Structure 1
Amino acid sequence: MQRLGTIDIFPPAENFVYMDAASVGLTHKGAAAAINRWQQALADEGTIAFDEQDEVECLDNLNDAAARLFNAQTRDIATASSETVLMSSLAWAVMPPKGTNIVATETTHPSTVYPWMRVAEATGAQMRWARADNLYVDPDHLESLIDDSTSVVCLSHVEYGTGQTYDLARFAAKAHKHGAICVVDATQSAGQVPIDVAKTGIDAAAASTYKWLCGPFGTGIMYVAPALQKLNPGIVGWRSHKDMWDFQADRLELPDTAKRYEFGTMAYGTAYGATEAMNYLLKHSIEKIHTHNREISDRLMSGLQALGAEVLSPKNAAERSATIAARFPGKNSRDFARTLKENNVIASLRRDFIRFSPHLYNNADDIDRGLASIKAAL
């Protein structure tokens, strides 16, 4: 089984068994170079190297790539400095009112749901939590929480801890049946699991680029369905105006697109890097990456089980991603994660378990070397 992302593009993959994309993915070498070129040119020439047209085009190009990633139109994409600020702006735009509820899982990442909790605190909306049994959320239980009082279903497409993956079409349909919207944090899925907003019918999807998209910190992307493009964003700034070069402080005319959720100056070099990385993944196709990742994560899961590990991730293929969470009987997870790192096996400690997350730059040999190190450490 060959790597899809080669050593020349992801050099650290030669020196480490790097299975930590769910924390920080290896950065595409060309993406890092693009960021450095922008920063150096700006230092050398200022606005000669980065003028107003460049300031527009660098985000437009990223939005084009994100549109292909989500199977959306470019007009439906917004870019900012992180998933969190985009989700926050959307939450304040929607402002679920008192008497309604927001459905989420207790295993979701804080960045997914904190913005909605903050808005609920202000409006009086209720948070309704899908409980987990040993970190697993029963999809039937989750669906049962959605009723005519629900205003928002807020999901992580892939749960950050165990990699549990939800059927977005199922929950979007259930939300819409009750007059609610389905909002998705795709940070743990974008780049490893195909996302088709047209087929699933979700209303919004936001993601940061530094994990499975192999891009930099400092960039977030968001798909916004046309109906939500009519709302007033919760965060606005000079870029929020439909002609951002208008500079008239006494009026704000929002664009008739998702760009109304773009609001301010950012470290634009990261947009160049994120575009480079995303185009690389799209060239390989997310479907192909998904197949590759499933094969190596299957190998990893089987190997962990053979070593006696308690695998916490779903066994059902339809609910799985490349993220595998495990506990090792008789081992303190914090100490064991440190031991693995000392042996060049890179994974993350999360709560009381270890999370492994291989990606396109891994191959079967990596998995076998990682398993051999785990066996020796045990």
Structure 2
Amino acid sequence: MAAPKLLPSQRALFDIPDDVAYLNCAYMSPLSRAAVAAGEAGLRRKAQPWQVLPQDFFTESEAVRALFARLINAGAEDIALIPAASYGMAVAVHALPLRAGQSVLTLAEQFPSNVYPWMEAARAADAAHVSVPRPSDDDWTSAVLARIDSRTAIVALPHCHWTDGGLLDLAAIRAACNAVGAALCVDATQSLGALPFDAAAIDPDFLVAGGYKWLMGPYSYGYLYVAKRWQQAMPLEQNWIARKASENFAGLVDYQGEYQPGARRFDVGERSNFALAPAAKAALQTLLDWGVENIQATLAARNLDIAARAKAELGLDSAPPAKRAGHFLGLRFAAAVPADLPARLAAERVYVSVRGKSMRVTPHVYNTDQDVERFFAVLQAALPRQA
């Protein structure tokens, strides 16, 4: 494999004014012009429904499924199309066995969509919910490995922490899960598309990702990877398109006991969204064209520079590069992040977000050097230097 290359700014592919410094992809990515055009074309077709043919319920969504599979080195039949990460985790909860006396492990301050389902599952099964405390040395991997034991049935984690980008070594954690027979469920919403992930190497039992952040797609269109060992599980819902021979509209009155192959049984109803599917397809194709390894290298270089300047010029700290995902930077303040800081930055058309105790600075390849200069100019005016 060729070494990753740094990508030049792709600003022209997005509708971002020159005076906007949008450093907030972890909140929501902008849609590219190509994704917007694809979505608009889909809406126009729905305006004239006689143009929507039965095969159109399948062609675009199957293309999206195949593109996402390429992104994570999986097969198209391993992928389900879902509306949200919480839906995908509900599928996992529904499929995975959990018994009294066992435990489910999550991280402290983890995003709620990958915590609430497991809290409820543990309560219903009379199992324990174990929340791994935030490690003082930013080593989430060691903290997780220390908590996996013979009672652990399910480990539900992100690839990087959503508040500050703290990185987890999922290969090491998978090996620890295998040693005790535990399932691994990954919420990759804050990493897929910017951080390389190899499903064949990591072998998660379930992986979910909302599509509207680093996957650069529309809101309420996401993805679920299901390992083959769970693809015969009962889906959450019983919709028509997930059943065998659903391509034959005239034959839908002949009810089928079998499902479409692979993970398609877990697709959400109306997965063939005629506006969102084309936009998601365009977004995924763009990511594959850029190359996720190249995206990660580009963003890591950008964030290394931002982190160094934030430390030198403002006294703001962050997790060491080896312990955070390169595309993600959480700046830490000596005291709490000033409550009005994001609003003060936004008033100057500089956009970041605060989650937990970190100010997230999450650029993408649409950003420029001028955006970074604007960010520091506004931040320096808004803040006294940290002790």
Look up the equivalent residue of 1:104 and give its one-letter code.
Answer: T
Give secondary structure in 2 for the equivalent of 1:242: coil
Q: Which residue of 1 aligns with 2:60?
A: 58
5 Å-filtered alignment, 1:1-378, equals 4=8, 6-12=10-16, 14-43=18-47, 45-46=48-49, 48-133=50-135, 136=138, 138-244=140-246, 245=249, 247=252, 252-266=257-271, 267-312=273-318, 314-329=319-334, 332-378=337-383
User: What is the rounded CA distance, in whole Å, between the counterparts of 1:116 and 1:247 in structure 2?
Assistant: 36
Contact 2:304 2:321 in 1 (8 A): no
Contact 1:324 1:357 in 2 (8 A): yes
User: CA, structure 1 residues 263+336, in 2 after alignment: closer, same or farther (shift >3 Å)?
Assistant: closer
User: What is the rounded CA distance, in whole Å, between the counterparts of 1:151 and 1:271 in structure 2?
Assistant: 35
User: What is the rounded CA distance, in whole Å, between the counterparts of 2:211 and 2:67 in structure 1?
Assistant: 12
Look up the equivalent residue of 1:317 and give its one-letter code.
Answer: A
Contact 1:4 1:289 in 2 (8 A): no
Task: State the Cα deviation string for residues 54-97 of structure 1 (Å, max 9, x = none).
Answer: 11112101101100110111111110222221221221111422
User: CA, structure 1 residues 332+94, in 2 after alignment: closer, same or farther (shift >3 Å)?
Assistant: closer
User: CA, structure 1 residues 155+318, in 2 after alignment: closer, same or farther (shift >3 Å)?
Assistant: same
Per-residue deviation at 1:237? Answer: 2.4
Per-residue deviation at 1:238? Answer: 2.4
User: What is the rounded CA distance, in whole Å, between the counterparts of 1:235 and 1:115 in structure 2?
Assistant: 17
Per-residue deviation at 1:139? Answer: 2.0
User: What is the rounded CA distance, in whole Å, between the counterparts of 1:375 and 1:228 in structure 2?
Assistant: 52
RMSD: 2.2
Task: State the Cα deviation string for residues 93-148 of structure 1 (Å, max 9, x = none).
Answer: 11422222111101210012222222222222221111114694532221121122
Give secondary structure in 2 for the equivalent of 1:205: strand
User: CA, structure 1 residues 106+135, in 2 after alignment: closer, same or farther (shift >3 Å)?
Assistant: farther
User: CA, structure 1 residues 215+117, in 2 after alignment: closer, same or farther (shift >3 Å)?
Assistant: same
Per-residue deviation at 1:157? Answer: 0.8
User: What is the rounded CA distance, in whole Å, between the counterparts of 2:285 and 2:133 in structure 1?
Assistant: 38
Per-residue deviation at 1:352? Answer: 4.1
Give secondary structure in 2 for the equivalent of 1:21: coil
Look up the equivalent residue of 2:326 and give its one-letter code.
Answer: S
Give secondary structure in 1 for the equivalent of 2:39: helix
User: Which has the higher mean CA deviation after the structures are superposed, 52-61 or 243-252?
Assistant: 243-252
User: CA, structure 1 residues 96+356, in 2 after alignment: closer, same or farther (shift >3 Å)?
Assistant: same
Give secondary structure in 1 for the equivalent of 2:63: helix
User: What is the rounded CA distance, in whole Å, between the counterparts of 1:182 and 1:169 in structure 2?
Assistant: 11
User: CA, structure 1 residues 344+177, in 2 after alignment: closer, same or farther (shift >3 Å)?
Assistant: same
What TM-score do you get using the length of structure 1 for normalisation?
A: 0.92
User: CA, structure 1 residues 306+13, in 2 after alignment: closer, same or farther (shift >3 Å)?
Assistant: farther
Per-residue deviation at 1:328? Answer: 4.0
Look up the equivalent residue of 1:160 and give its one-letter code.
Answer: W
> Which ranges of structure 2 fall in alignment gaps of 5 or more residues?
none
User: What is the rounded CA distance, in whole Å, between the counterparts of 2:85 and 2:257 in structure 1?
Assistant: 24
User: CA, structure 1 residues 363+18, in 2 after alignment: closer, same or farther (shift >3 Å)?
Assistant: same
Per-residue deviation at 1:249? Answer: 8.6
Contact 1:136 1:164 in 2 (8 A): yes
Q: How many matched pairs?
A: 375
User: CA, structure 1 residues 302+103, in 2 after alignment: closer, same or farther (shift >3 Å)?
Assistant: same
User: Which has the higher mean CA deviation after the structures are superposed, 118-127 or 286-295?
Assistant: 118-127
User: CA, structure 1 residues 263+315, in 2 after alignment: closer, same or farther (shift >3 Å)?
Assistant: same
Look up the equivalent residue of 2:99 and give its one-letter code.
Answer: P
User: What is the rounded CA distance, in whole Å, between the counterparts of 2:374 and 2:150 in structure 1?
Assistant: 52
Contact 2:189 2:213 in 1 (8 A): yes
Per-residue deviation at 1:341? Answer: 1.0
Share of identical aligned residues, percent?
27
Per-residue deviation at 1:351? Answer: 3.2
Per-residue deviation at 1:321? Answer: 2.8
User: CA, structure 1 residues 123+242, in 2 after alignment: closer, same or farther (shift >3 Å)?
Assistant: farther
Per-residue deviation at 1:250? Answer: 6.5
